[in-house]
Amino acid sequence: MVTFTDIAPQGDALARHDGDVVFAANGVPGEEAIVVARRSKRHMVGEVVEVLSESPHRIAPRCPHYGKCTGCQWQHIDYPLQLVLKRQMVARQLTKRGSFTDVPVLATLPSPEPWHYRNHARFSVDPQGQLGFVHKQTRDFVPIDCCYLMHSEINSVLALLQGTCAGAHQVAVRYGVNTGERLIQPKLPQIESGQPCYEEEMLGRRFRIASPSFFQVNTPQAERLVGLLRDSLHLDGTELVIDVFAGVGTFAALLAPFTGRVIAIEESASAVKDAAVNTTGLDNIEFLQGKAEKVLPQLQEVPDAAILDPPRVGCHRRVLAALIKLSPRRIVYISCEPATLARDLIVLCEGGYRLVAVHPVDMFPQTYHVECVATLVREEFSPELVLASTSPRRRELLFALGLDFESIAPPEDETMPTDTENVEKVTEHLALQKAESIAKGSGERTVIAADTIVVHDGTIIGKPRDAEEAQQMLHRLRGKDHIVVTGVAILSGGHSYIGHATTTVSMRNYSDEEIAAYIASGEALDKAGAYGIQDPYFRPSGQVDGCYLNVVGLPLCTLAGMLREAGVSLGARPLWMLPPQCQECEVRSEWSGEIA
């Protein structure tokens, strides 16, 4: 029997047994289970055969082939937890491989559709002509009649071809979800196939994609990715942007109308031919064909911004060295492999860049794979905004407003106030003190600060000093109501702006065992009231009356109104890029005019 405590980099649940690390398929963190495993060189590898203590996030897999073909790893985990786990995996790789411990890793951007999202399938074929997939460990062939990740049109092609492709080694099917066009390789007698290319449409623009060329497999989410990229680049229409690993010109074509000029670099001759078609009518794009590590060092012009979207193996060292030498003010690095991303980010940061944020994007639901958008700026460029906090929660929420800012920790002062008669004024005063302490060394920059207090039965509850006090706090709050008040202060242009938000939280009747597990995780010790309302495993609250994000630590609606009053423009973020609680909030009108 083992207890799963985490998720491994390849998507298996992780546990320890008699000193050994155990990786097991079909597990969920927090569960107790019986695992059948075999020993590898460094650890044990196996799968769950019986769940003894089931996670509330466990669901029934939709696909009858789940676990046999191994193309999916997480169909047994509900989608909200999949998003949390991907964020945790990214943060862990940044810490483990890049030593980044204080970089905001934002909440994973969910896919608009967690099923039937793939526009590209590559089926293996057995000697009898059956189409299917190959188990990643045993290499056994698994014939399938339907894949729940593939678009329905691809499944229609699968049904037509199943059992008829003897002699073929693989069959690739690509589908334009916005155009209805198909590309099927190789040439087959049963169906129209052998097309050299097909077309897809993104954000109103048509793209030709040849058979050897890469294109994102999740079209709706790729459109969101472009919006996130544009926002991260902070374009004003005058910049020279270099797009390294440009592919068929997707980013270059869709960003060109918002820039002064784009220089795109791509090695693949097929992709460059596609890009020539895809950028027709855009006279501010120049394509350079060749390996990025050879072309980039030859550039003479100094770009304002750069886009990196390399293969899974990451960037060649000469690419990073050339980019550091060119010294664009801002770099946005898009990666489908967090480990190589972390490795390359170290080099860029050692070369004079500051990692501002990393935003996971779920391009691949039901699997452990995750896309990341990392934003870096040159160290000498200080943003106009300062957040008087290094709290990951507050930094993540502030990024949701589309703002560029520097995070600075205020002087520590854990003296707890005692005035519960006017707790709102107390929190505002504490927030103002934080802002003033940072403003002294920040010149003319705008400073934002916040302070959160938990009050139960007339007593202010702060952060626990140790595990014993955390346990006492959680016992005290169990099954009862309390209020959470966050004071917010802004110092800008010699003026101060203060406000607050108050929320009532009803805690559920969690068990002593749940308290012990939560405290053992280490998550209780840096939080007022000894809990994080957003924790996906503990889930301490039963009901929230008021602003949810106030309990997390920064009420965005309150802050948005105050920033507008202070003359600070918010970023134009689509509503789907905001936290889900904001999308459901009745006072979302605070965003009007700023959020598209």
CB 111 within 8 A of CB 362: yes
> Are the C-beta atoms of 437 and 375 separated by less than 8 Å?
no
How far from 139 is each of 65, 133, 170, CA to CA, in Å? 15, 9, 15
Helical residues (DSSP H) of 351-499, grouped into ranges: 392-399, 423-439, 467-477
Distance of CA 501 to the CA centre of its chain: 28
**Which residue shows structure tokens 């709102």?**
424
How far apart are the C-alpha atoms of 348 and 313, rounded to whole Å?
16
Phi, psi of 32 (to 5 degrees): -100, 135
Contact 234, 257 (CB under 8 A): no
Residue written as token pair 């940061």 = 349
H/E element, 124: strand 120-125
Q: Which residues of 459-491 are buried (b: 16+ CB within 10 A; e: fewer)?
A: ebbbbbeeeebbbebbebbbeeebbbbbbbbbb
Sign of CA dihedral 29, 33, 37, 42: positive
Per-residue b/e over 515-529, b at no fewer than 16 CB within 10 Å?
bebbbebebbeebbb
DSSP 108: P
CB-based contacts of 433: which residues, under 8 Å, 6+ apart?
413
Contact 500, 476 (CB under 8 A): no
SS3 letters for 370-404? CEEEEEEEECCCCCCEEECCCCHHHHHHHHCCCCC
Residue 540 to residue 506: CA distance in whole angstroms = 9
> What span, in angstroms and rounded, lies between the C-alpha atoms of 94 and 343?
8
* Neighbouring-strand partners of residue 353: 378
* Candidate list 147, 197, 336, 547, residue with the active-site label: 336
User: Does residue 593 come out as left (phi exceeding 0), alpha (psi in the -120 to 50 range) or beta?
Assistant: left
Q: For 457, left (φ over 0), alpha (ψ -120 to 50), or beta?
A: left
Reference 157, options 120, 128, 126; nearest CA is 120
End-to-end CA distance of the chain: 51
Containing H/E element for 563? helix 556-565
Active site residue 336: yes
Element (H, E) at 172: strand 170-175
Which residues are identified as catalytic?
336
